Amino acid sequence: MKKIISLITVLFITINSTAQIKEVTSNTKESSKKMMQISKINLLGNLIGQLNKESDRDFYSVSYKDFKNTNQSDIKTFAIGNKETVKQYRDIMLTMIVNKTNEKTIELEGKTISFKRKSNSIETLITNKDGETSKMKWIAKKHINILFPANKLD
């Protein structure tokens, strides 16, 4: 029994000691996407939402503070798509407020986005493929127009 435990220990140590380090080359760095901030909403210094655009193509994403967790540094991002998809996303929320639609769910870039209206504000729940849900804070019509500015999307 001691021999088996010793053999397993030696194998475990050998496997861990032969782990390799990979050097980051300039090609690897270039493959990471460069994002430009288009707009941002803060409340008392805390991020509510931020619209980002890849600098080299027409692709947008939203970064947001996950209000399901109390950790202030829990910032998440989800992809929206091209400029037309961002406009549709904005219009869905604004139409929900105008038409007093309580709930709406859409599929977007592999995630399920659920909108819930309360009075004149929209709460956004983002569910990934693993079923994990995060929550973007309630935002009013004014904040929707700031986060998704029409003048920068036309």
Under 8 Å between Cβ of 89 and 80:
yes
Q: pTM surpassing 0.85?
A: no
Largest alpha-carbon pair distance within the chain?
Answer: 74
Can you tell me the mean pLDDT for 42-47? 81
Structure confidence by residue, pLDDT tens digits, 5-37: 666 665 555 544 444 444 444 444 444 568 889
Residue 110 is predicted with a pLDDT of 84
pLDDT in tens, 129-142: 888 888 888 889 99
| CA distances for 87 relative to 91, 117, 124, angstroms | 6, 19, 16
Q: What pLDDT is recorded for position 92?
A: 92
Query: Could you read off the pLDDT of 46-76 as tens digits, one per residue?
Result: 888 899 999 888 999 999 888 876 666 778 8
Residues 122, 96: Cα–Cα separation, whole Å: 8
Instruction: Write down the pLDDT at residue 27.
Output: 44
43 vs 3: which has the higher pLDDT: 43
Which region holds residue 82: left if phi is over 0, alpha if psi is between -120 and 50, else beta? beta
Q: Which domains does the chain have, with CATH numbers?
A: 38-153 (3.30.2450)
Look at residue 72 in the predicted model and tell me its pLDDT. 67
Instruction: Work out the angle at residue 80's Cα, subtended by the Cα atoms of residues 110 and 90, and round it to the nearest 5 degrees.
Output: 125
**Stronger pLDDT, 6 or 42, i.e. the higher one:** 42
Distance in angstroms (rounded) separating the CA atoms of residues 112 and 117: 17
The pLDDT of residue 144 is above 70: yes
pLDDT digits (tens, 9 = 90+) for 104-123: 999 988 889 999 999 899 99
